[in-house]
Amino acid sequence: MVNHARDKGGRRPHGNGRHAVVIGGSLAGLLAAHVLAGHADRVTVVERDRIPDGPEPRPGVPQSRHAHVLLESGQLALDSLLPGFTAELRAAGAPRVGMPEDMVAWSGGAWVRRTAPTTHIHTGSRAHLEHLVRRRVLADPAIRTVESAEAVGLAGDASRVRGVLLRERGGTGGTAGAGASGRRQRTLPADLVVDASGRGSRAPQWLAAIGAEPPAEETIDTGQAYASRVYRDTGAHLGTEALAYWFYPNPAQTYAGGVLPLEDGSHLVALAGLRGQEPPTDDAGFTAFAARLPHPFLHEWLLTAEPRTPVYGFRATANLRRRYDRPGRRPAGFLATGDALCTFNPIYGQGMSVAAMSAVALRDALADPRRRPTTLRVQRALFDASRQAWDISAGADRAMPGAVGNAVASRAVDRPVGWYLNRVQRRYVGDPALVGPVFRSVLTLTAPLSALFAPRVARAVLFGPVARPPAAPPMRAETTGG
């Protein structure tokens, strides 16, 4: 069960004998392990799947076959953690899309002007990016992996977590110490356990089982479902005048989707609809669904493009936040990060960037010389790293028709703020000088939400004219004479 080939031996000279365990070998878990290797003699990453040698999707990450972007905030965080990473990503072929110049985008009921870019996103596949991170992180001899093992509980009590209960996957039963399923179970001792197991985390139940208090959970669910497929452009219709194409949903037009370039020259097409409007996963139905988007150009392109994969569906898109940051009867030595802490509707493309930002928050909290890094203090730093992304994703989904969940209800302050943000959105599509750049910096998590309320921006939003957006899809960028 232990992958000895990856355990290269040797320890960093901390001399503290500490052992940290990270549950989950995806992006959030790998980056957390990288940070913890600077504070512990040993770090073990527990992964329920077999870790692939190359850039392959894993069964435990069903969303990996769908659209992913790395925002500017995520790029900055990754370069801070793994110096030179974005240059390596680019050299490996990950497409870099300048916003708004390189994308034909429909947002808030209008086309966005394609002026000079103020930010860039990477649009390669999740598996490709994760492979590059994994290769860098697991080269550290202090980090080893335990593969094909499922975390099924915590060792310890309500005052302190002392390890993880593991069960081998795929084994035959009948051995001493086997669990109810007949598979061998053992305890992996640890001084610190980090849950990076994803949106399906069972940590709340594990905490209750050792007498601790599980976190309160906040949810907002629009029922949005995705279907995705990779295509090859047979007629050079894509990737010439624009690199990407995207339709963003809003309460008046709930269908979403678009085309993103991948690292191998192919294109990923994603389509989405709310509860009761889910995109089909059969060939004809998927193509026909694209005709529901606000303009027919994507549907027309699909009629000539060459499919490279089956259609894959995905429905686990609810916003879910676990409030480990609040005081409660919880043990020392346990942290949650990534989607195990806060997960967002994937339509907003925040997940990978927040995973990287959370690792930076973990690093900074552990290294802060002014404060002792207690479990609650570090957990609050991780919570703060995801706060703005939650405000954006949950705020937008709260307004969508049919949204359900215990966090759907609006507060008194939400109405005037929503009114103001609606004015921001109406202006940013046609304003390349002020509102547009600031709004994009907030959406890409490189500027705080308060930047939208700065006096200069507020004057433009409240009193400035609304520039007329393009009347038709801007298939050519303005900077190239379109």
Q: Average of pLDDT values for 422-435? A: 93
Does residue 125 lie in a domain region? no
State the pLDDT at residue 52.
87
Q: Which of 314, 343, 371 is the last residue of a domain?
A: 314
Q: For residue 179, what are its two tokens?
A: 């669990």
Does residue 92 lie in a domain region? no
Do 196 and 325 lie in one domain? The reply is yes
Do 309 and 325 lie in one domain? The reply is no
In Å, how far are 10, 65, 101, 114 from 243, measured between CA atoms?
A: 45, 19, 9, 12
Tell me the helices (H) and strands (E) count for the chain, helix number first: 12, 21
Instruction: Give the span between the Cα atoms of 64 and 52, in whole angstroms.
Output: 14
pLDDT band at 56 (very low <50, low <70, confident <90, very high): confident
Do 141 and 215 lie in one domain? The reply is yes
Instruction: Give the span between the Cα atoms of 245 and 228, in whole angstroms.
Output: 14
Instruction: Give the span between the Cα atoms of 85 and 132, in whole angstroms.
Output: 8
Residue 59 has pLDDT above 90, yes or no: no
Instruction: Give the span between the Cα atoms of 36 and 106, in whole angstroms.
Output: 42
Does residue 454 lie in a domain region? yes
Q: Which of 314, 341, 373 is the last residue of a domain?
A: 314
Q: Sign of torsion, CA 358 361 366 372?
A: negative
Does residue 373 lie in a domain region? yes
Does residue 4 lie in a domain region? no
Residue 302 domain boundaries: 224-314
pLDDT band at 410 (very low <50, low <70, confident <90, very high): confident
Q: For residue 32, what are its two tokens?
A: 């957390």
Residue 114 has pLDDT above 80, yes or no: yes
Q: Which of 89-103, 266-280, 400-414 has the lowest mean pLDDT?
A: 400-414
Do 298 and 278 lie in one domain? The reply is yes
Does residue 80 lie in a domain region? no
Do 270 and 364 lie in one domain? The reply is no
Do 142 and 214 lie in one domain? The reply is yes
Does residue 478 lie in a domain region? no
Residues 6+ apart with CB under 8 A from 387: none
Residue 221 has pLDDT above 70, yes or no: yes
Do 257 and 338 lie in one domain? The reply is no
Do 153 and 43 lie in one domain? The reply is yes
- Domain containing residue 307: CATH number: 3.30.70.2450
pLDDT tens readout for residues 317-327: 999 999 999 99
Q: Average of pLDDT values for 288-309? A: 95
Specify the higher pLDDT residue, 8 or 369.
Answer: 369
Picking from 325, 324, 225, 233, the residue whose alpha carbon sits closest to that of residue 279 is 225
The share of the chain scoring above pLDDT 90, in percent, equals 82
The mean pLDDT value of the chain amounts to: 91
pLDDT tens readout for residues 62-71: 788 899 999 9
Look up residue 284 and give its amino acid. A
CA angle 115, 423, 108 (to 5 degrees): 60
Picking from 87, 65, 64, 63, the residue whose alpha carbon sits closest to that of residue 75 is 87
- Domain containing residue 383: CATH number: 3.50.50.60
Q: Average of pLDDT values for 138-162? A: 97
State the pLDDT at residue 174.
34
Do 59 and 37 lie in one domain? The reply is yes
Do 327 and 249 lie in one domain? The reply is no
Residue 234 has pLDDT above 90, yes or no: no
- Type and span of the H or E element at 165: strand 161-168
Do 342 and 459 lie in one domain? The reply is no
Instruction: Give the span between the Cα atoms of 311 and 226, in whole angstroms.
Output: 10
Do 204 and 244 lie in one domain? The reply is no
Does residue 245 lie in a domain region? yes
Q: Which of 314, 331, 361 is the last residue of a domain?
A: 314
pLDDT band at 241 (very low <50, low <70, confident <90, very high): confident
pLDDT band at 54 (very low <50, low <70, confident <90, very high): confident
- Type and span of the H or E element at 458: helix 455-463
Question: Per the structure, how many domains does the chain have?
Answer: 3
pLDDT tens readout for residues 1-33: 333 333 333 334 456 789 999 999 999 999 999
pLDDT band at 240 (very low <50, low <70, confident <90, very high): low
71-106 burial, b at 16+ Cβ within 10 Å, e below that, comes to: bbbbbbbbbebbeebbebbeeeebbbbbbbbbbbbb
